[in-house]
Structure 1
Amino acid sequence: MSANATNMSSVGSSSRKGRTGVKRDASKLIWYALLIFFSLVAIVPILWMVSSSLKTNLGVFMVPAKWIPEDPQWSNYLHVFTDIPFFTYFKNTAIITVLGIVGTVISSSLVAYGLSRIKFKGSNIIFYLIIATMMIPPQVTIVPQFLIFKQLGWIDSLKPLIVPEWFGSPYNIFLLRQFFIGIPKSLDEAAMIDGAGLFRIYWRIILPLSKPVLAAISIFAFMFFWNDFFKPLIFINDDSLKTLTLGIMDFKSSFNIIQWNYLMAASALILLPCVLLFFFAQRYFIKGISVSGLK
């Protein structure tokens, strides 16, 4: 009897394990199906953009749509460089992006360092106020900014797109502060014993240990500055100062006719650096977002 009971219990245990394994596999299958579906939702517009960039302007609106053009119009990409001052727009965008990234990383890391490592009265209140500004839409503050920059004589220059980024970004400050908190303070104390000051600790210890989160912030900043359309539209009117996102609208003629195939070719070229950056830097991006601190 005892042997039969043991066999029955082992059979029951294995059947339960089997059901658990089936449920686990079914759950994974559902998650994979959802991931594939949402990936397709994100990828299909990009594929349509690339496909349209190789068509004629009338072919873009052909029904049913042909995803692979029979006669690819590679000359559309040549028109991007000849019909608009593409390299001028590229230079302006590169200047804004590089200086914006440097300003964002330096200013945000300094503020985050002060809030995470230097204890003073009201530091938590200041941090909460900084976080609270994240809830204010940028469209609300754009009019006061425009009036200020107009008084400074900065309209129709790159300064409104660069200088504000040297005063910190709330989200980046939050991300960096959380990462800095995870770094043991014993490293600061050891450095102080050796005679290091606060800035030297920040520059020689904190920043080198924070490469993953700094890389993530740099990627965020690159994506923002490279693809920003709203601010250049507000502050720039001079054609020689336009950015790529603003300049490609030159394909829209005075008769309100848009050369969609040229526009899609220009958009594909603008998107390419973002794709390459994320492809080669995704491991740093994931490490930075995890906010794991020092292990």
Structure 2
Amino acid sequence: MQKLKLRLGNAVFAVVLAAAAIIFIAPILWMLSTALKEAEDIFVMPPQWIPDPVVFSNFADVFTKMDFLQYLKNTIWVSVLPVFGQLLAVPLVVYSITKIEWKGAKIIFPLVLVTMMIPWQVTQIPMYTTWSKLGFVNTFIPLVLPAFFGSPYYIYLMRQFMKGIPNSLIDAARIDGANDLTILYRVVMPLCKPILVTVALLVFIAAWNDFNGPLMYLQESDKYTLSVGLQNVLSNNTLKRQYNLVMAAVTLFSLPLMVVFAIFQKQFISGIATGGVKG
């Protein structure tokens, strides 16, 4: 009887998960379906999930209707460089406040957490004013350079992981004559691979999807990222009522994120699970 209840519970759980998966994946499937349709087939009733005919030329038309390749190149720059910046800065900060004993370590980390509570709307105008006076508006610098100083959330996330590394390993490396940089890069960081992959993915996804930053700092269309460029095309009615081309553009915009997440999902989930549960 107990085994029957257990199997019944597992079956119900599986059905609930399947229903939730369908709810989450349905918009993606509809996006792909619309991207492969003729414009007049989008609003037919009942809805047509399988395009007939399948129009692959919609994706080619995107490149003629907007400067997609230029937007893509700009987006890659402002998405990849912050990943390197965060992976350079965050481990240095976390190691210094977690594995090095000094008086300021217990003060610095709470201050870092406090900055997470400040809404970006509060700092938006001061930040724009600062970058404007430095002459960096309409450049990629405001979108890239801050990453090389670390971000509070990624510092917090990695600290939770690094706290679990035994201090005995670090002490043994110090006895062997290794300095702190050697310990960090040869001992600690190889053990932090799951959280490093997680941080890299989160940074890349956030930068790729960022709309407010590029909209605020970039003024010339040849510097637009995909998010701003697509919105600019829509607001200029370049793709007016051509929803199949809009969905084709959105599909191309989303595809790199899907591919990257599919490749690194195991490391991502491992980093979140391990780094997010420690106090």
Measure the CA separation in 2 of the matches of 1:127 and 1:31.
40
Deviation at 1:253, TM superposition (A): 5.9
1:259 maps onto 2:238 in alignment: no
Q: Which residue of 2 aligns with 1:217?
A: 199
Deviation at 1:255, TM superposition (A): 5.1
Q: Which residue of 1 aligns with 2:133?
A: 151
TM-score (norm 1): 0.87
Q: Which residue of 1 aligns with 2:257?
A: 274
- Name the SS of the counterpart of 1:172 in structure 2: helix
Deviation at 1:23, TM superposition (A): 2.7
Cα displacement string for residues 36-80 of structure 1 (whole angstroms, at most 9, x for unaligned residues): 222112111111111111123343233332111212221110011
Q: Which amino acid aligns with 1:169?
A: S
Q: 1:235 aligns with which of 213, 217, 226?
A: 217
Residues 255/90 of structure 1: CA separation in 2 closer, same or farther (3 Å cut): closer
Q: 2:267 aligns with which of 284, 290, 295?
A: 284
- Residues 157 and 275 in structure 2, CA contact (< 8 A), matched pair in contact too: no
Measure the CA separation in 1 of the matches of 2:13 and 2:111.
38
1:89 maps onto 2:64 in alignment: no
Measure the CA separation in 1 of the matches of 2:88 and 2:116.
19
Q: Which amino acid aligns with 2:243?
A: W
Q: Map of 1:63-212 to 2, 5 A cutoff? A: 63-212=45-194
RMSD: 1.9
Structure 1: gaps spanning 5 or more residues: 1-17
- Residues 143 and 213 in structure 2, CA contact (< 8 A), matched pair in contact too: yes
Percentage of pairs with the same residue: 39
- Name the SS of the counterpart of 1:69 in structure 2: coil
Measure the CA separation in 2 of the matches of 1:65 and 1:31.
30
Q: Which amino acid aligns with 1:146?
A: Y
The range that moved more, 156-165 or 254-263, is 254-263
Q: Which residue of 1 aligns with 2:33?
A: 51
Residues 239/285 of structure 1: CA separation in 2 closer, same or farther (3 Å cut): same
Residues 136/30 of structure 1: CA separation in 2 closer, same or farther (3 Å cut): farther
Deviation at 1:204, TM superposition (A): 1.3
Q: Which residue of 2 aligns with 1:12?
A: none
Cα displacement string for residues 180-213 of structure 1 (whole angstroms, at most 9, x for unaligned residues): 1111111211111222111111111111111111
- How many pairs does the alignment contain? 275
Deviation at 1:258, TM superposition (A): 4.7
The range that moved more, 97-106 or 117-126, is 117-126
- Name the SS of the counterpart of 1:61 in structure 2: coil
Measure the CA separation in 2 of the matches of 1:75 and 1:56.
10
1:21 maps onto 2:27 in alignment: no
The range that moved more, 25-34 or 209-218, is 25-34
- Residues 251 and 263 in structure 1, CA contact (< 8 A), matched pair in contact too: no
Measure the CA separation in 2 of the matches of 1:175 and 1:251.
37
Measure the CA separation in 2 of the matches of 1:291 and 1:133.
24
Measure the CA separation in 2 of the matches of 1:84 and 1:122.
52
- Runs of 4+ deviating beyond 4 Å: none
Q: Which amino acid aligns with 1:183?
A: I
Structure 2: gaps spanning 5 or more residues: none
- Residues 198 and 268 in structure 2, CA contact (< 8 A), matched pair in contact too: yes
State the structure with more CA Rg: 1
Measure the CA separation in 2 of the matches of 1:25 and 1:42.
26
Residues 30/93 of structure 1: CA separation in 2 closer, same or farther (3 Å cut): same
The range that moved more, 116-125 or 208-217, is 116-125
Deviation at 1:114, TM superposition (A): 0.9
Q: Which amino acid aligns with 2:172?
A: A
Measure the CA separation in 2 of the matches of 1:29 and 1:142.
49
TM-score (norm 2): 0.92
Measure the CA separation in 2 of the matches of 1:88 and 1:164.
23
Measure the CA separation in 2 of the matches of 1:161 and 1:233.
11
Q: 2:15 aligns with which of 24, 27, 33?
A: 33
Measure the CA separation in 2 of the matches of 1:40 and 1:169.
35
